[in-house]
Structure 1
Amino acid sequence: MLRHKLIHPQISSILAASGHHSTILIADGNYPAASKRGPRAELVSLNLMPGVPTCNQVLEAVLSAIPVEAIQTMKTETEGPYALDGDPPVWDDYRATIKSEGLDLELEPIEKWDFYKAVSTEDHVLTIQTADQQRYANILLSVGVRM
């Protein structure tokens, strides 16, 4: 019986096989998961209905199961239909979840097209597609090491 919060068998299996520097994408409901992922990355679709589950709920479960050394987000646009003034509200949720897991990590926003490139590498092992409808909710985790 598992003691951490993550109980999804396929996700647990993929995470158990990942190693240092592997990346895990927790994607929102708008992310093009079929085309923007690493060549060997597995896709797990958890999108049950709009808004369920959220990226932050998945983040909480994943952080309970693996060591993470870096967390990147997709930088917000400042012009156009998806522009935001400041950080998206979901990033505050991420910061609270990261802190509650006892991690001393900052979110590292990177440009949209650089984010897609970071996800498309050989190190990308898993995309977890959520049904989160918040803008800029995609989050890329880099697996750390057990200390």
Structure 2
Amino acid sequence: MLRNINPILSPQLLYVLRAMGHGDEIVISDANFPGEGIGPDCIRADGSTASEVLEAILSVMPLDSFVPDPALTMQVVGDPDAVPEAVADFQRIINETADKPTEIQTLERFAFYERAAGTFAIVQTGERRFYGNIILKKGVIG
């Protein structure tokens, strides 16, 4: 254990967050996301929700303030303007935890999968709420 580090941040996840550079992206996904087969390393966090992992990651990682979309979620199929419960929770966490809060932007489902395939890593959680997926772009610490 380490002081002031959320215990949800496993050794593997801490390593990945530290190894990421400015502009690298990480996915926090729900339990239904194809995390193991989509491409990047998949870190399992089955005992945690996506919201818990998001809050833990934002406690140590800044969001990129040089782009308009440092936080992206998947649009609801057939209703791209809908805001699922998980996404509303993500926005609350970003507003309360991020060093520079931002409005979450959205991507069409297959565009989200394509973007996720090119990320640094995926953290697959036990999140059971639909659309509990978010891509974060790492910023810099001044």
Aligned to 1:11: 13
SS at match of 2:135: strand
Counterparts of 1:42 and 1:92, CA distance in 2: 27
Counterparts of 1:114 and 1:136, CA distance in 2: 14
Contact 2:80/2:108 (8 A) holds in 1: no
TM-score if structure 2 supplies the norm length? 0.86
Aligned to 1:72: 72
- Which aligned segments of 4 or more residues in structure 1 are displaced greater than 4 angstroms? none
TM-score if structure 1 supplies the norm length? 0.84
Counterparts of 2:77 and 2:43, CA distance in 1: 27
- CA deviation digits over 1:21-56, x for unaligned, max 9? 11110010000112223xxx32111113xxxx1100
Gaps of 5+ in 1: none
Q: Is 2:97 the counterpart of 1:96? A: no
Counterparts of 2:126 and 2:53, CA distance in 1: 11
Contact 2:75/2:82 (8 A) holds in 1: no
Matched residue type, 2:104: L
* Offset, 1:99: 1.1
Alignment of 1:1-147 (within 5 A): 1-5=2-6, 7-37=9-39, 41-48=40-47, 53-69=48-64, 70-78=70-78, 86-101=82-97, 102-121=99-118, 124-147=119-142
* Offset, 1:97: 0.6
Aligned length, in residue pairs? 134
* Offset, 1:8: 1.3
SS at match of 2:121: strand
Matched residue type, 1:3: N
Aligned to 2:67: none
Matched residue type, 1:140: I
* Offset, 1:84: 8.4
* Offset, 1:77: 1.1
Q: CA RMSD in A?
A: 1.7
SS at match of 1:31: coil
* Offset, 1:2: 4.1
Gaps of 5+ in 2: 65-69
SS at match of 1:73: strand
Matched residue type, 2:52: Q
Contact 2:75/2:81 (8 A) holds in 1: no
SS at match of 1:133: coil
